[in-house]
Each structure stands twice: as C-alpha cells, then as structure tokens.
Chains A and B, each alone.
Chain A
C-alpha cells in the first residue's frame, strides 16, 4: 500500500483521496438519514451542483494562472438580469441567441478584469474586489431596483431546468447537468492536451520562467479571465432558468463558494496545480454536504456553514500535510537510490566479473 501511494503521481493521489472522501461522506449520510439513497437525491444534487460546478471550473481557470476572480458572483447576477430583461421584452428570441448573449456579456465583463490584471498590472485580488462592487452597482443602476419575475419569462426557459436528456428509471440526467459536464470535460481536454492549455499551468507555476520560455503570459492571463467571465455568464443564464426570479442580489456570495470548491478540489491557490475534474468533484462534495446536512436530524441545519468551513480547512490541511510527508519520503528514496548507484559503480557485482 505504502509503495503504491509513493509511486502515484501526486495529482492522481489527490484525486483518488477526494473520491474516497466523497464516497465516505455518501456512506456516512446513508447511515444517518433514512431513505437517503434514492433517485431524488441524485436529481437534486446534480441540478444544484450544475451551476456551482460551472462557476468553480471557471474560477479554476483563473486560479491556475496564479490569479483569483472575486467578481464571478456579480457577473452571474448581471448576466442573469440582462438576459432575463431581454427575454422579457423580446419573448420570441431564440434560445441559442440568448445563450450567446449571456456568454458574450460575461466574456466582456471578464475581459475588463483581464485587461486590468494582465495589461494594467494591477493584482487580481484588487481588480476583482473592485469589479465585484462595480458590476453589482451597474446591475442596480440598470435595473432601477426592479426585479425579473417568472411570469415575464418565456416557457422554454422555465422548462429548461426540468428537461431530461436521459432517464434511467427515476434517475434523470438534466440538460443543465449535461451542459456542465460537457464544459468540464472540454476544459479538461483543453488544459491537458492543448498547447494553449498547458501555458495556463506554465504561467501559474512560474510566471518568470514562462516569460523566459517565450510564453506571452499577459495574453494567457487575459484569456483566462475572458473564459472565466464567459463561463460565469453561462452560469448566469442557468441561474436565470433555475430561479426565474432575479433581484439585484442575485448571485451574491457565489464567488466565495466557487473559490471553496476550487480549493477543496485540490487546486493550489497559488496556481500551476490542479485539474477541472478535481474541481468538479470538489463542487459535488461541497454541495452534497450542504444539501445533506439539511436533512440530518441529529444536528440543526444551522450547522451547515460551520461544517463547510471546517471541511475546507480539513481538506486543504490534509492535503498540505500529506504532500509534505510524501515529498520527504521521495527525497529520501532518491538519495538512497543515488547512493546505491554510486556504490554499484565503484564495486561492480562479483557475478558479472
């Protein structure tokens, strides 16, 4: 067992540990809550995780490049309101156009962040702390403190969260879930297999080295923010479809949830390490605990936030301790191996002689 752990790539190990924790959490709640394993659990968790997982994947793109985007919650609110407003005034608008508008609006807001961070050389935490407030105040101004209500929206939009792509018995795979899964898989392939995707990691793990290696790191960071904004716009569209009623506080606080999912999902907050698949599992874990605690009779549902905070700490703390330990073992092994090699060179095996 020990040797398997030592031989595994840290990223694989992290991912396996995360899956194990997810499995244990599901087992644990199964013993605590009557009738826990049913189709409704799957349906409920998968639909509620669709939005936060999408946002977390978007956030992960930025975090990988050693930045952070605190404005995603405001982008979700602003795009949800914008698209809702347009749909309410032009009920005949095609669904594709509505999604494209959401992507474009989000991408534009993300581009503002990107220009300021990449070309203005302002730290991401400052820029996005500022735009968090600015985008929200734009939303307040634009809406005139009115809200979007369900009855003004076209039927296809309200049907969307309930549309199934596939059904196995009572298990429904909803359209929003499929979209999120598709985006996550596409992002994973992009980050793992594409030249541009690898540059995200290069810039995040060592910005100076990336520049020396000829990578246009400003372009990469800019792109990360644009992609993050566009995906947040898509999440805003899903938010609109799911809730229907959009007020000026829509999406408030989602930025912290997305960062939490990214961190629990094993992405290093200082960039360069992590996978979007891990982030997806992190988002599922966070949301599963959130949803299940409500149904757990033993403790009041007000414990939810307290437990969530502790979970994040434990996940990251276990990761940090494990990685430090592993690093030490690996170094010792390498030294031993080196020493053995040196010995072998000096005194060759007798059988060979």
Chain B
C-alpha cells in the first residue's frame, strides 16, 4: 500500500492495514462478480446472498467477541441445531407458540451457562469444553427428534423467515444489522468492550487490575448461546422444517469468517468492522462462484485457501521486509566503513 498517499495513510491509521486489504479484496470480488453476471448487482440477488447464510453471519458477530476475548466456541452450530429442534418439538407437543419460543431462548441461555460453568469455574480450556458440547448439544437434538423431520409450522412463522417485512428486507437481515450495531457499540464504545480486549490480551493482567474475568467470559458465552438459539429459530423459519442435523458443520464456516476478518486467534486484537468486511467477502465470493457454477465443496476449499493466505501473506511480507531492512543496515554499515 502506498504510504505516500495522504488519504490512504489516514484511512490506514483509522482502520489498520488489514481492513484496507480486505476492502480491496471485497471491491475486486464485487467488480469481478458484476462482470461475470448481469444479475449480481440486482437487489434481489444481493438480499438472496445475505439470506442464504444469514444464520451463520449472525453467529459470526458474537463469535468475533469471543475470539477477541481469547476463547473459542465450537458448540454454536450444535446449539443452533438444538434450538431449531426444540422449537419443532415444542410445536409438535402443541404448546402455545410464545411459550415454545421462550423455551428455545431458555435452552440457548442454559447451554451457554453450562459452557461458561466449565470454562470459568472448573477451568477447562474453552476449546475442549465446546468441543465436548459440539457433540453433546447435537446429541440432545437427536434425542429430541430422533431421525424424524418436523414441518408444517404456522404460516406466520414461515413467513417471518421467508417474506420481506420492511421494504425488501426480511426479518433476519434486519436482526443481523441491529445486532451488528449493538455489538459495535458494546465492543468498540463501552467499558465492557474494553474489558473484552484487555482479557483477550492478557487474562492475568486483567484479573490483577480488578476485572472480573469470569463474569465477562460467562456473559459472552451465555450471549453466544442465546444468539445461536435465535439463529436456529431463524433457520427453522427460513427452511420451514427442522431435522436433527440442522446447521451441521456450520462452526467451521463461522470461525473462518471471523479469522479472515483479521481477528487474532490468540485474542486481544481484531474488530467487528474487519469481521463485517470478511463476511461480505465470503458471501460475495460464494455467490459469485455459485453464479459461475462452482460446486459447494470447491467453494469451501477456496474460502479455506483464502483463510490460510490471509495470515500467511502478512507473515511472508514481514519476513522479506526484515530481510530487506537487514541488508540495508549491512550496506549502511559497510558504507560507513568504506
């Protein structure tokens, strides 16, 4: 990036180099897609592109906070499945809808609290706890519906997931943007957000400075549970049917989106802005590849490659940068001697 340009310099100091890089990729993707297909830039396609992965990107928002906090939650996709299945089960039992929906959120909260208990009270790494619950929540979902599928939800419920409610936007997209704004305020402009970063940078220092580390982590994991439950509900509404394998394997896509957004897997750095850009890149890339008839597995492969390159390229650049700086220093020293 040319540091000579004043505008670029200002942008860079505001967003950091990584976000600018993502922005460039995004623009290239959009231009390429628009060139490939005349339908790409239509509003219908743009909304469709969001809606196809809306559950994943909603969960990716809270996952950003968790990874910045230095933890990880692998159980989100299983929680989405469990929530969707709980909804289907409650509906089948004939409970009134408001109670069923409240039950779903309660399940999400309880699941998040369960994760939080093992992580903060017992002191097991979140990678292990949520790996266990990835299996566990999915198991509970299968217990609830076994191998049946549940469908024929009330029409208004399906409509919530499928029909636009405000202008051309369906409910799920509105929820996504509302959550995005709320979380940006919480993470970037509130005391709680600063605590999230500080803990991610150094848990021990944070604890010694009087931050209740366990409480912050517990809040984040419970929020992840509730938001995953919400995403599961939206999935049920969009597809209009639930089965035990709803959202199977989504956790990898979600984590990929967050990490591609420049959030460090070791915690302490990254931003929701970066995560948003990477979400847009992934959505546009997948949509463009789908328009160009590339299969789903290969799309995932391309995203995987992008994920590795996103960390590898800066490393390579730093390596050669150091090499160059070292040579320059040597030359200067030799020059002085001569």
Contact = CB atoms under 8 A, between A and B. Distances in A.
Interface of A: 116, 120-123, 125-127, 129-134, 136-138, 140-141, 248, 256, 259-260, 263, 269-270, 300, 302-310, 312-313, 316-317, 320-321, 324
Contacts of A300: 143, 146
B143 A310 contact: no
Contact of B135 (A123, A260, A302, A320): A260
Contact of A302 (B134, B139, B301, B302): B139
Contacts, number: 133
Interface residues of B, number: 44
Q: Per DSSP, are chain B's interface residues mostly helix, strand or loop, or mixed?
A: helix
25 contacts: A116-B308, A120-B315, A120-B316, A123-B265, A123-B311, A125-B265, A129-B252, A129-B259, A129-B307, A130-B304, A130-B305, A131-B308, A133-B303, A134-B301, A136-B300, A263-B131, A269-B125, A269-B127, A304-B139, A306-B135, A308-B135, A310-B132, A312-B132, A313-B124, A320-B123
A346 to B, nearest CB: 37
Interface of B: 118, 122-125, 127-129, 131-140, 142-143, 146, 244, 252, 255-256, 259, 265-266, 295, 297-305, 307-308, 311-312, 315-316
A320 B125 CA distance: 10
Contacts of A260: 131-132, 135
A309 B133 contact: yes
Nearest to B295: A140
A269 B128 contact: yes
A64 B64 CA distance: 28
Contacts of B132: 260, 309-310, 312-313, 316
Given A126-B259, A306-B143, A256 B135 contact: yes
Contacts of B124: 313, 316-317, 320
Interface centre among A123, A131, A134, A309 (most CB of B within 10 A): A309
B321 to A, nearest CB: 14
A303 B140 CA distance: 7
A130 B308 contact: yes
A162 to B, nearest CB: 30
Contacts of B136: 305-306, 308-310, 313
A301 to B, nearest CB: 9
A226 B140 CA distance: 37
Given A122-B312, A317-B118, A133 B143 contact: no
A121 B134 contact: no
Contacts of B300: 133, 136-137
B135 A132 contact: no
